Structure 1
């Protein structure tokens, strides 16, 4: 392509930046916008704006573009910083900070009039907090700021910085500011935010912990309050140390930025190996849309200014020596100044030197703050340290003078987390345990204690009884916020602390069943259900007496174990026997939701074992029991499964029934339940060969909810795979890839899932041979092919690039003798692919015994629980019968143009362009074999038109067409 248009800009830094960017594009060969968009991972529209719009692009986008074109990001960052600075000095006073003038101006302007997210980044000690505080001080008179700080707690405390920020605003104008804002907010906002601010609770009934809309209302409540606060004056949310944030806080930030345009300022520590992988993924995703302001080391001149701001009488030589040791890192510089410009080797030594002289009340104060590792009020410090008011005040004054403490509206804290680490290093074990106990007691006595935080301190104090109580509270609190992974870890810790022979503990009592079931359900919510299997097995194997579980509890654990064991696709009837044991126990009790749930799973197991009539009858009973129990969400799930069973049995009422379930029950606040129904709904539409648009629409609401809550369960995966499969069958491979790309970016997945299997199939269609090989290699290294879904990916690979003889052997290994049947709607297509592999193998081997191979193919069909080509099979399976028959005839060397034309016509009627093109290609090969060149040319033209986005097929068609000329 030629040069892109340049915006009409006045002389200045931004025009210089644009000119440099266009010159770099020229040196790079004027690559297309779409090529650059693919390489950078942003849209081509975003790339176009960076080159041709008068608006300054975010640094994240510009950095990606410069790297993609082989430029120097550091050079361009200097130009970008200059372009971000104001054209002229507006006379605003500068905060007491060394250097950082341009950075301060960027942050200040963002706080005053910016939208979206500005991330100030840098490694530890680079002055991120100083920049945020200095810029905030400059605008505090004109901008309403809500500030919160994330903490590196051993157990994540959901939304802790958001709660801190909202409390700060709540204290403004004696609460009148928030009161005015709440009056213009929807009624639910105050009660929704009471989840993190209990002091805002009204006289309304407390939130139901089973209310699955709780988290969404919380997100929306934060957004609504921010909007309302913005109406009276500029408003900004300032969140420090987002690299330590819990996942819910990151979700809130992303929600605010993407859906409300609120002004958010945050800081992020870079180059920190302790930052979790999911946090790094969030940062990588957000930096493409956010403005990123990286902080580097100070120059020597700026370091001189910093040194003299701490010690005005320091000489220039002193400052130069410090800069040589600190290399301009502000925290190192500050600590070296306080250490008398010595020669320490590590920062830990410097920090240890700062706290080593402290004794008496000052040491008591820093001990409490070091253990708490967050700001505390003076009252909390006094109680935890056991100090009277006058002795506390004296200690605080001395520590402030030594620049060890910071005091702001959030309370008193150590000036840096590394100081807290230094304090903890100096404490002897008994001293540390006593301090943890004092902090735990103090925090527990507060108005709104955070259970996870209190539990951590009791754990460090070694008081297991108190810790167990608070771990249970923390697990329940995280469960209410849909933080599955956090909740599961708290339940696991509670289980580790549980007395071995106790069925319940505490007052009010907590049942052992709640702990065990909580681990299983929350691991499932977090997308890690298999981790719960060993625990459930060991719990159910414990001797009775003592009676650790009552009948209903034992039945529930059996049901959960049955589901999790069967989800591993193991051979045999383990899952079936377990759920039947659960049902036998439930039969001795009054009808209940537990029985309905067990019957629901029993229906699944019976279907997998080929006992379709029994499965249908079992689900009929499950519908009745769920309705009798009055559990509407469960009744909805059971009726959705009942609709699926009807459809799988070839009953046309399946589509009508699932649509009736959607109309009658709609979507409720239970994300997992909505995903369950969406899986069945999309399954049924696929079995009925409904258009891809219908499948995507049926999945949309549940997938949006899953994205909001970051749910990674098997249900979420299955819905995405169904959407992808619908677009793939419609010949729209690019659209199909959009459904799974975000979850399958790694070519060598850590875990093998349906999403990665679907991605492997799509990569075959896109012609990405090496990527497919790497992904399938990981499948095999993690246990080989273990289910029909993985089989499909391997078959697609071998029929285009591998040894087709492996296809039939692989299918026999996977499909014969298994307890779970191939899913209806997939079985027919799978048999057709296997038969193609067999036909390809015999065509390549003149010595092959064709009749024997054909018998093996027939044996595979006969081995299935249900004949996919029977008259009562689902349409998606029956549609593959003509192609299967044509492949069998090709295997035997007897295929005709007519047999392939019939198969192509079937796929044409169902709008399956790639399958139609394949059959037309095979028909053209027969036409060439029989000497009908004109017919072959026409068929090949038709096939080429229908094979778009299927690279291997299009190439095969082209090769055949070339041979006809």
Structure 2
């Protein structure tokens, strides 16, 4: 299929426009057809109207209309547009067919230009705020209209443009609801598709109804729109309308609505239905052939049907249609006049005949085919030489238009010169199109054009002179565009190819090594450090200072992330020296930053904080370096317990990331840094909102891991352990890749996964998740390790209480690891709030000296009192205090101190409720119910059963009786309380069901209980 002109605005209708179509004189007569009625689409139209009503009320929505060619997609959308209320603003665009690489943002530009024409350039630029530079890069004519100065496109990121357009639509939708239409997604360019992905998630507070259409048979396996549709289907604010074929009765109604002078007979109607297969456009074409008066005029093939009107035109009109078809579905009269070889009168006469015969229609100053299928059939009819000549004419016309105007047309020029088989002229046009796409932050399109230029490199003479760069530089730039477009794997493959072609002594060789290292890190793959070290070896001390300083800073960062702290400090300070010597403030700030964090991790916390402040001063005025400062400064603030400052730093950085258009990368990292301190402050909802917003931006893999880790952990503490386990299973493969190369991710994800397993009673799985913390090769990051030590202690205690619940050998390994945990804790004693985690670890492991808790870890009330005291201090995660209170209450019950236990559990319930710690609140309620303790404000989920058994409230005598139980009987009693049968108890403890029954009988006898349930409640002192 050939391309549409750059000026193309909208597609021809799928099922005929509302205006009358006039059929040509098949046998010296003109058959008059009335306006085609819209048949069989009433429900679909009503659905669009309903969605618009919801949008007007403040809920954004997207409707995706799909169907085969000719089924009536465009007709449905036109009918919907025609009846829009006057207060609704319509912004519409159509994707154009430019082969495999379409002009970037073509449909979006059309829609936005309609907005500019409606309200003016100045209000649009004012509304877009920080994104004005990006919008000017997309629509360069805005610079002249608004008086903007500067170099449009310089330093513009795709995210900045996406955010700017989202802000623009949101802003104007507050004034008037917006219907945002993009048709023919099967031809969409990569940049526009990425924008639509963003808008579907980002327009959450707008009054925008997005309507998209696509041709189903053209979205085949591997088509980028296919994955877009799959993603969209999972969004509850997206609905897909698949248009079906018309029934026989509907076809008859459509035919009768088209024929004015006489009704066709039943035989002809049956023929039209059979030949059209119920596709409205084909019905209209068949009716247009002599009004369907004679079955003999019905073509045998689809091609004959599509070309029926065309073939009855004079040769001059057919030649014009072949010329128009080369330009696209829609071509402006001005462009057509330039490429038409004939005088104006001949052009007008030929065009008039094409319109009279119903092959093309007039819309403003444009000619458009009544349907894309007709254009495709005519295009296929072109002779090879004819096609090449026509493409050359369009290419020359676009070149002249580009020289005379401000609009970017290099993509069209490249496409047409390729169609003309003129590689020499297509090559520079392709490179210019790549630059234009980069200026508009259309990285995906820029990458496609770069790859096209590389394909042409060996075909054209002296490509280096024509390109203004060498092949290796072009490969590097194209790889960079691929990385910025999110195609890191393809970018990595191109960098590998460049390294294979680049001699080791070339100055670009170490740069490619650095790029390969960065790409590997971006997708969470190992191997970055050896590459960076090789690059530094090649550079030597006298290499390019900028590459040297940058490579040292990058290497230092990777060493820090992998836990090689000493090497990170040494490398970062070497990079700092090079950067300061050669006045490279960005590299100096980043190196200082990494050295600061690494020193803090090693124990020089105060010095590290001072160096971070110095890194902030060095970064002044440099957006990238400032973002790096905010990332690490907010992380350190959180890890040392300054949660309010951590949130402030992260949100300051997030605001700057949005302004710079990197919310999807650095912004997501900063968002994840805001989430953990918000959770620590008890602001669960606010943290959850940030997670959802950041995930909606479809961030790179490692950043998604950070967000998902926080999300799953919050689900756990908010009382949904099953949901947390399901979510973890879905994202675990992605997490594993990042864990392999990042110590902090290994520690954080390992802790979270262990807690999830523990909450779901998978003790062996929990130990398997956490044991790695004890065997790290490099010194542990104390801020991430301390919580892991506490989780490890919880798991060890749980296994000690139920050793038969884990496979043989696990209990021994866990028990023998206590000394290792204490050793690692002592090594991290310099870290702020170290004593908090020590108190929690010791409380989890301490055994009561007597009573029901004797020889059961975690039952020493005195140890839990210390934990309660330290967790009440400032700078402690707020979920820890209600947890410590809960555990103290359980220990008091184990010691038969029911009065103290009730007071403690009541306080735990109140604090958990106030802090939103649902998991703790629910466990407090279970413990209290089991002990028949009534708490104020407790949820009575068990209803009458709990109330009924409460009459047999546990007494001191019950506690004394419980103390007489053996250790094995206490284990069995715990499983009775869980509701397990004798057989299940036997499987859990690796004993026979009969032996379990013997233990149950002994428990009932000792407690004086008549039933298993009563035994569980009488033994309320037991956890």
Task: Give, in angstroms, the shift of residue 207 of structure 1.
Answer: 1.2
Classify 1:97/1:557 alpha carbon distance in 2 versus 1 (closer, same or farther; 3 Å).
same
Alpha-carbon distance in structure 1 between the residues aligned to 2:896 and 2:706? 44
Aligned residue runs from structure 1 range 772-787, under 5 A: 772-779=724-731, 786-787=739-740
Match of 2:532 in 1: 579
**Is the aligned partner of 1:688 residue 2:634?**
no
Deviation at 1:223?
A: 8.2
Paired with 1:638 and 1:816, the residues of 2 have a C-alpha distance of 29
> For residues 170 and 791 of structure 1, what CA distance do their matches in structure 2 show?
52
Distance 1:306 1:519 in 2: 52
Question: Do the aligned residues in 2 keep the contact of 1:824 with 1:868 (CA within 8 Å)?
Answer: no
Which residue does the alignment assign to 2:671? Answer: 720
> What does the per-residue CA deviation read over 1:650-686, in whole Å, with 9 as the maximum and x for residues that have no partner?
4235556656766885686x5x666544422331221
Separation in 2 of the partners of 1:433 and 1:802? 71
Give the 3 Å change call, closer, same or farther, for CA 718–850 of structure 1 in structure 2.
same
Residue in structure 2 matching 1:795, options 754, 760, 763: 754
C-alpha change, 1:492 and 1:637, in structure 2 (3 Å) is farther
Deviations 1:355-397 (A, max 9, x none): 5667854444434443443432334335556555444333322
Q: Separation in 1 of the partners of 2:454 and 2:820?
A: 50
In the superposition, relative to structure 1, how do residues 612 and 187 fare at CA in structure 2: closer, same or farther (>3 Å)? closer
Local SS of the residue matching 2:729: helix
Evaluate the alpha carbon distance shift between residue 98 and residue 882 of structure 1 in structure 2; reply closer, same or farther with a 3 A threshold.
same
By how many angstroms is 1:763 displaced? 3.2
8 Å CA contact 1:487, 1:522 repeated in 2: yes
| Cα contact 1:766–1:952 (8 A) shared by 2 | yes
TM-score by length of 2: 0.68
Q: Secondary structure at the match of 1:406?
A: strand
Aligned to 2:882: 917
**Distance change in 2, residues 1:209/1:181 (3 Å):** closer
Aligned-partner Cα distance in 1 for 2:386–2:735: 49
**Measured at CA, do residues 827 and 759 of structure 1 come closer, stay the same or move farther in structure 2, by a change above 3 Å?**
same
Counterparts of residues 416-427 of structure 1 (less than 5 Å): 416-427=371-382
Secondary structure, aligned partner of 2:367: strand
Residue 856 (structure 1) aligns with: 817
The root-mean-square deviation of aligned C-alpha atoms, in Å, is: 5.5
Residue number in structure 2 paired with 1:906 = 870
2:910 to 927, 945, 950: 945
Q: Does 1:490 align with 2:449?
A: yes
* Shift of residue 778, structure 1, vs aligned partner: 3.8
Q: Does 1:525 align with 2:484?
A: yes
What does the per-residue CA deviation read over 1:897-937, in whole Å, with 9 as the maximum and x for residues that have no partner? Answer: 23233333333323423222333333333333333333333
The answer to whether 1:932 aligns with 2:897 is yes
The residue aligned with 1:276 is 225
Tell me, in whole angstroms, the C-alpha distance in 1 between the residues paired with 2:887 and 2:129.
Answer: 65
Q: How does 1:471-510 map to 2 (within 5 A)?
A: 471-499=430-458, 505-510=464-469
Structure-2 separation of matches of 1:311 and 1:339: 11
Q: Describe the SS at the equivalent of 1:516.
A: helix
Once the two structures are TM-superposed, the CA of residue 798 in structure 1 deviates from its matched residue by: 1.4
Describe the shift of the 1:537–1:893 C-alpha distance in structure 2 as closer, same or farther (beyond 3 A): farther
Unaligned runs of 5+ in 2: 1-33, 741-745, 849-854, 933-1023
> Comparing both chains, which one has the higher relative contact order based on Cα–Cα distances under 8 Å and sequence gaps of 6 or more?
2
* CA–CA separation in structure 1 for the residues paired with 2:112 and 2:810: 77
Is residue 242–residue 268 contact of structure 1 (8 Å, CA) maintained in 2? yes
- Equivalent of residue 241 in structure 1, options 180, 183, 187: 183
2:928 aligned with 1:961:
yes
CA contact (8 A) 1:527 1:713 kept: no
Residues 739 and 845 (structure 1), Cα distance of their counterparts in 2 relative to 1, 3 Å cut? same
Select the residue among 136, 143, 158 that pairs with 2:104.
158
1:82 aligned partner: none
CA 167–526 in structure 1, closer or farther in 2 if over 3 Å, else same? closer
- The reply to whether residue 837 of structure 1 matches residue 802 of structure 2 is no
Structure 1 residues 868, 461: closer, same or farther in 2, change over 3 A?
A: farther
What secondary structure, in the 3-state scheme, does the structure 2 residue paired with 1:158 have? coil
**1:315 equivalent in structure 2:** 263
Deviation at 1:845, TM superposition (A): 0.8
**How far apart, in 2, do the equivalents of 1:250 and 1:426 lie?**
35
Residues 706-717 of structure 1 mapped to structure 2, 5 A cutoff: 715-717=666-668
> Is the radius of gyration larger for structure 1 or structure 2?
2
Match of 2:547 among 575, 594, 607: 594
Q: Note if 1:211 corresponds to 2:155.
A: yes
Change in CA separation of 1:544 and 1:187 when aligned onto 2, cut-off 3 Å: closer
- String of CA shifts for 1:97-132, please: whole Å, max 9, x gaps: 73699979999xx99x98998988744556564577
Pairing 1:886–2:843 present: yes
The more displaced of 944-953 and 178-187 is 178-187
Tell me what 1:79 maps to: none
Q: Does 1:809 align with 2:768?
A: yes
Superposed, 1:298-313 pairs within 5 Å as 311-313=259-261
**For the Cα contact (< 8 Å) 2:88–2:179, is it kept in 1?**
no
Q: Does structure 2 retain, via aligned residues, the 8 Å contact 1:647–1:653?
A: yes
C-alpha distance in 2, partners of 1:314/1:889?
A: 97
Given the superposition, is the C-alpha separation of residues 422 and 711 from structure 1 closer, same or farther in structure 2, using an over 3 Å criterion? farther
User: 2: CA distance between counterparts of 1:781 and 1:235?
Assistant: 42
**8 Å contact from structure 2 (residues 770, 788) kept in 1:** no
Structure 1 residues 259 and 844, CA gap change in structure 2 (3 angstroms): closer
Q: Please state whether the residue corresponding to 2:605 is helix, strand or coil.
A: coil
The C-alpha deviation readout for 1:830-885, integer Å capped at 9, x for no partner, is 232123223222221168797753443554787x8xx785233355x664332233
For residues 170-227 of structure 1, what are the alpha-carbon distances to aligned partners after superposition, in whole Å with 9 as ceiling and x for unaligned?
999xxxx969989999999998765344456559765164433798589869988999
Of 655-664 and 250-259, more deviation after overlay is shown by 250-259
Q: Does 1:759 align with 2:711?
A: yes
Q: 1:777 to 1:458 in 2, by over 3 A?
A: farther
Q: Distance in 2 between matches of 1:140 and 1:733?
A: 41
Equivalent residues of 1:190, 1:201 under 8 A apart: no
* Partner SS, residue 331 of structure 2: coil
**Would the aligned equivalents of 1:161 and 1:239 in 2 still touch at CA under 8 Å?**
no
Alpha-carbon deviation of 1:509?
1.2
| Corresponding position of 1:699 | 650
* Structure 1 residues 458 and 841, CA gap change in structure 2 (3 angstroms): farther
Aligned to 1:366: 321
SS at match of 2:362: strand
Separation (CA, whole Å) in 1 of partners of 2:62 and 2:736: 44
Farther-moved stretch of structure 1 (439-448 vs 852-861):
852-861
The 1:445/1:118 distance shift into structure 2, 3 A limit, reads farther
Pick from 675, 682, 686: which aligns with 1:735?
686
Tell me, what secondary structure is at the counterpart of 2:401?
coil
- Partner of 1:825 in structure 2? 783
Asked whether the 8 Å contact 1:468–1:494 carries over to 2, the reply is: yes
Distance in 2, Cα, partners of 1:701 & 1:804: 41
Using the size of structure 1 for normalisation, the TM-score is 0.71
- Matched residue, 2:37: 98
> Where does residue 651 of structure 1 map in the other structure?
605
**Change over 3 Å in CA distance of 1:873–1:120 after alignment to 2:** closer
SS at match of 1:880: helix
**8 A Cα contact 2:306 2:374, kept in partner:** yes
Structure 1 residues 170 and 453, CA gap change in structure 2 (3 angstroms):
same
Change (3 A) 1:725 1:485: farther
Counterpart of 1:565 in structure 2 is: 520
CA shift, 1:795, in A, is: 1.0
Alpha-carbon distance between aligned partners in 2 of 1:449 and 1:943, rounded to the nearest angstrom? 66
Aligned residues: 847
SS at match of 1:407: strand
2:158–2:442 Cα contact (<8 Å) kept: no
Which residue is 1:556 aligned to?
Answer: 511
Whole-angstrom CA distance in 2 between matches of 1:569 and 1:136: 47
Shift of 1:769: 4.7
